[in-house]
Amino acid sequence: MSVYQYSAIRARQAAEHDVFVFAANPKEVLEFAQIERVGRSDDGQLKGFQRHQIASHIRDIRDYLSRADALLPNAVIVAFIEGVTVRDVGDGRLEVSIDARKTPPGFVVDGQQRLTALSGLDKPDFQVFVSAVVCKNYDELRQQFVLINSTRPLPKTLIYELLPTVEGLPQRYTSRRFAARVVERLNFTGGRALRGEIRQHTNPSGVISDTAMQKLVMNSAAHGAIREFIQYEDREDRAVSLINEFFEAVATVFGGQWVGMSPRVSRLRHGAGIVAMGFVMDLLHSSQGATTKDGFVPGLELLKPFTAWTSGTWKMDDCEFVWNDIQNTPSDIDLLTRHLVSATKRQLRKLRRAANA
Amino acid sequence: MKFLYSDTQDYVDPKYDFLNDRPNPKRERYWNDAYAHELMREAPYDGLLVAMSAVRQAEGVASSKVRYSTAEEQRMLRIGARKYLRFDGPKFKDLMLMGDCGAFAYAEHPQPAYSPEEVVEFYLDAEFTHGVSPDHIIFECDLENPPASAMPEAQRRFEITLENAQEFIKLVHQEGDFFEPMGAVQGWSPQSMADAADKLVKMGYGYLAIGGLVPLKVDVIKTVLEAIRNKIGPEPRLHLLGFAKADHIHQFVRYGITSFDSTSPLIRAFKDDKANYYIENGEGGLDYYTAIRIPQALENSRLMQGVKRGSFSAEDLAKRERVALKALRDFDQERGSIQGTVDAVMDYHQFLVLGEGGDESAHAKALSKIRERVQRTLEARPWKRCDCAICEAVGVEVIIFRSSNRNKRRGFHNLGVYHRHLKRTLEHSA
Ligand SMILES: [Zn+2]
């Protein structure tokens, strides 16, 4: 490990950032920059950001770059927080010095597959362009990563999982971002019904689909109970608590149809069941004022006889379905939602009539 | 006579940035948007109609008809349509809120998409003031009054509609009459429609909704209403469902129409080639003007096809687009001549015509016609004469045919003008 020196060209962009480009040997790049892949530390904190490598992709790149006439005009992008000093030598040119004596200070933001492919090739004189950006802190660096990569298909689940930690994203991400944060909290700090049960990029052993849970949050935040929390500063806490309490009630009422089940054997744990039950949560919240497990249990007990999560048939208006015919499609979710919500409403009306009589 | 507008989630971003063609950056769809009755000083209609098929997915409902998401549908059914549509302030709370099934959406299907039970539950949850029985549309209307045996499919639909009406009114009573039931009339001839109306009155309906009128000519509708009134007398109230001939409604006064619904004043703002902006002419009539088409260069499909084919350059189009917009806005501010403005508009507009294909003389002919209409609009400056909240707020933008925020606003303006015109005409004829 050593100190690397390059001549670079600076580009005038945002005033608070240094952006410059230089040519370097891929092996050097991998010595002054690390590829930090996404994962979780032992206490559940998100770390890193890069996706995992795709072998076939690397193979394809390597096949091409091994040719004598191969060119790689597009730059790899490396972000720094520290460990780099630049000296202006005029005319937009810089002298760059990267101190990698202790640890590689840079992070590869884009081009990891290319670097990996090149590092396995015997082409010592082949250089790549390095486009470097200096960031204030790690969060800003992660923001750069998402912004740079959001034009190209990263796995959606990874993007969603990174969203809660990223600031300054385009508007279209904000409702997803809120939902992702709520789901992350439910998964890593929630009650027994949901903790560790949601499948995420960093929790592959979970079984409940994270996108279904996010959909539940987004539906409720757009038009349901969570929307009503909008005026509160602790909206997110309230959302986490409401969903947590609701699913504690679900686990209590539906017992073995929830606990330990996989979506394959229980439609209650399936994407369609999760999203549809979100509307039951909104209904019980608005009509019964339910916010706690005990508040949700009576309504769910009323609903229970009309469900067929693990066996039997769903009896809807004028049709019947075998329990596992429900698929994770918008029209099935819509159908199941309507059935669950109407059945609950009908039972609540019956109760009210009986109470008034 | 009440004019109802059929809700299809028509709202606009009240803070839309017209100069940069950008929505308000903080905009949340629906929540920050405004319906016509919110944006204008008074509601440009006497009530709203919500078609179940626009809200609820079902077998046989063309999916393109469904405009509400599941979350939106569920919210409407939790809090009621009045609150959902923000039609509940003191100004609106007494206005009609009517539900129907939107039979058009499932017309192709052998059976209606919704059962009477499901419909009643939907109307109750939505808290409508009026609800139409579930009908099955009959398209033909034969003035020769053929017998039922000659029209087997129409007869089948006729019977489904009446059986549903019977079941529907029973359920409405059972549930406690929370809304007024309206009996849907469907038939294949004036005579059969009169028979249907008569049967509905005998079932106990005091308010009938006449369906299947959309494709019919004004004279045919008159014959139908004549036959119905002859059969049932002057008392039962009548509603005309989906009445597309809004401009002719004053001719129907003598049939004792209580209400009708139409979307045509709004639809005209988008769909009509020539007459897409209404204004009262001060002599008891309406004048129609052509809105000025300046579509978004990089989003208009006809222009983009030309760009992809290589016949136009995107940069060149964008430049002419900017020039046309600027010329029109300058003209509005009394800077620049009519001729100069027409030239700038047509200099861009010609690409729309060229993009259509066809030969040179056809192009020249089409362009000269459009030029005439644009010139007429500019000479009359109708947007300057309108004092509705829309025209006051956005000025010349309302007359530019470009993207939904302008086109829908023009539709809202049309609704307001139409509503006021209708009131005046009815007062005169009373
Ligand atoms: Zn106006």
pLDDT digits 0-9 by tens, B286-321: 999 999 999 988 778 888 777 777 777 777 888 899
pLDDT (mean) for A290-318:
95
Stretch B203-209: mean pLDDT, rounded?
98
The answer to whether A186 and A213 have CB atoms below 8 angstroms apart is yes
Please, what's the b/e burial string for A267-303 (b: 16 or more CB within 10 A of its CB; e: otherwise)?
bbbbbbbbbbbbbbbbbbbeeeebbebebbbbbbebb
Tell how far the Cα of B276 is from the centroid of ligand 1, in angstroms: 12
pLDDT band at A51 (very low <50, low <70, confident <90, very high): low
Q: Which residues contact A80 (CB under 8 A, 6 or more apart)?
A: A98, A105, A106, A107, A132, A133, A134, A135
The residue of chain B with its CA nearest to that of A339 is B118
DSSP classification of residue B13 = -
Give the alpha-carbon dihedral of A155, A159, A161, A162, to 10 degrees.
140
β A93-99/A84-90 pair status: antiparallel
How large is the average pLDDT for residues B1-7?
95
Tokens of A148: 């740079």
What is the least distance, in Å, from the CA of A98 to any CA of chain B? 40
Q: Are the beta carbons of A223 and B72 separated by less than 8 Å?
A: yes
The alpha carbon of residue B75 is apart from the nearest alpha carbon of chain A, in Å, by 6
Kindly report, residue by residue over B315-354, the tens digit of the pLDDT.
Answer: 788 889 999 999 999 999 999 999 999 999 999 999 888 8
C-beta of residue B195 within 8 angstroms of C-beta of residue B183: no
Closest listed residue to residue B292, CA positions, set B254, B342, B332:
B342
On the CB side of B313, how many CA atoms lie within 13 Å of its CA? 4
Helices marked H in B176-299 — which ranges? 190-203, 218-232, 264-271
Q: Token pair for residue B82?
A: 């009045």
Mean of all residue pLDDT scores within chain B: 93
The answer on pLDDT for A347 being more than 90 is yes
Provide the CB-side half-sphere exposure for A321 (13 A, CA): 18
A318 contacts in chain B (CB < 8 Å) = 115
The answer to whether residue A145 scores a pLDDT higher than 70 is: yes
* Annotated catalytic residue within B100, B135, B195, B332: B100
CA distance to partner chain B, nearest, from residue A283 (Å): 7
Please tell me which of the candidates A171, A219, A338 has its beta carbon nearest to residue B71. A219
| pLDDT, mean of residues A272-293 | 97
Which residues in chain A are contacts of B25 at CB distance < 8 A?
171
Residue of A224, A331, A345 lying closest to B57 (CB–CB): A331
Average pLDDT over residues B134-140: 95
The H-assigned helical ranges of B296-337 are 301-309, 314-332
Residue A55's pLDDT is: 64
Q: For position A54, what pLDDT does the model report?
A: 63
Largest CA distance in chain B: 69
Residue B307 confidence (pLDDT): 75
How far away, in angstroms, is B425 Cα from ligand 1 center? 19
- Which residue of B57, B78, B120 is the best one to mutate when testing the A interface, meaning the one whose CB has the most A CBs within 10 A? B78
Residue bearing tokens 């109407």: A342
Chain A residue numbers touching B115 (CB-CB < 8 A):
317-318
Catalytic status, residue B198: no
Per-residue pLDDT at A259: 94
Does A341 contact chain B (CB < 8 Å)?
A: yes
Percentage above 90 pLDDT, chain B: 77
Considering chain B, what percentage of its residues have pLDDT values greater than 70? 98
**Mind telling me how many Å the CA of B72 is from chain A's nearest CA?**
6
Q: Is the pLDDT of residue A31 over 80?
A: yes
Write out chain B residues lying below 8 Å of A330, CB-based: 70
Task: Using an 8 Å CB-CB cutoff, list chain B residues near A341.
Answer: 74, 77
Ligand 1 centroid–CA B390 distance in Å is 5
Closest-CA residue of chain A to B56: A334
Q: Say if the Cβ atoms of A224 and B75 lie within 8 Å.
A: yes
Residue B372 CB contacts under 8 Å (≥ 6 apart), including other chains: none
Nearest CA in chain B to A284: B78
Which residues lie below 8 Å from residue B39, measured CB to CB, with a gap of 6+? B12, B14, B389, B390, B409, B412
Residue of A217, A223, A229, A350 to mutate for B, most B C-beta atoms under 10 A? A223
pLDDT bin (cut points 50, 70, 90) of residue A53 is low
B429: enclosing H helix or E strand: helix B403-429
Q: Which residues are CB-contacts of B412 (< 8 A; sequence separation ≥ 6)?
A: B10, B12, B36, B39, B40, B44, B266, B390
Neighbours of ion ligand 1 (CB under 5 A): B 386, 388, 390-391, 413
State residue B65's pLDDT score: 58
For B365-424, the pLDDT digits (tens) are 999 999 999 999 999 999 999 999 999 999 999 999 998 999 999 999 999 999 999 999
Largest CA distance in chain A: 90
Per-residue confidence band for A37, with pLDDT thresholds at 50, 70 and 90: low
Mean pLDDT of chain A: 88
Rounded to an integer, the average pLDDT of B111-135 is: 96
Least confident of A14-28, B222-236, B349-363, B404-418: B349-363
Confidence at residue A99, expressed as pLDDT on a 0 to 100 scale: 95
Ligand 1 centre to CA of A229 (Å) is 38
pLDDT band at B147 (very low <50, low <70, confident <90, very high): very high
**Of the candidates A200, A283, A307, A194, the residue with the CA atom closest to the CA atom of residue A243:** A194
Which of B56, B57, B74 is nearest residue A341 as measured by Cβ atoms? B74
Alpha helix (H) residue ranges in chain A: 26-32, 55-65, 112-119, 138-149, 156-162, 174-189, 210-223, 225-228, 235-254, 271-288, 293-303, 330-356
Residues 221-250 of A with CB under 8 A from B: 222-224
Amino acid at B69: S
Rounded to the nearest angstrom, the distance between the alpha carbon of B19 and the centre of ligand 1 is: 20
Burial class (CB in 10 A: 0-12, 13-18, 19+), A260: exposed
For residue B261, indicate whether it is catalytic. Answer: yes
CB nearest to A342's CB, from B70, B71, B121: B121
Which range among A80-84, A263-267, B186-190 shows the weakest confidence by mean pLDDT? A80-84
Surface of A (152-191) touching B: CB under 8 A: 171
User: Which one of B72, B75, B118 has the shortest CB-CB distance to A317?
Assistant: B118
Q: Report the alpha-carbon distance of residue B159 to residue B165 in Å, rounded.
A: 10
- Could you write out the DSSP letters of every residue in B97-133? EEEE--GGGGTTSSS-SS-HHHHHHHHHHHT-SEEEP
3-state DSSP call for residue B237?
strand
Model confidence band, residue A150 (pLDDT cutoffs 50, 70, 90): low
Of B264, B208, B261, B207, which Cα lies nearest the Cα of B51?
B261
Q: What ipTM does the predicted assembly reach?
A: 0.86
Question: What distances in angstroms separate CA B190 from CA A108, A321, B23, B183, B210, one per listed residue?
Answer: 77, 43, 49, 17, 11
pLDDT of A189 strictly over 80: yes
- For a pLDDT cut of 90, what percent of chain A falls above it? 57
CA distance B86 to chain A (A): 14
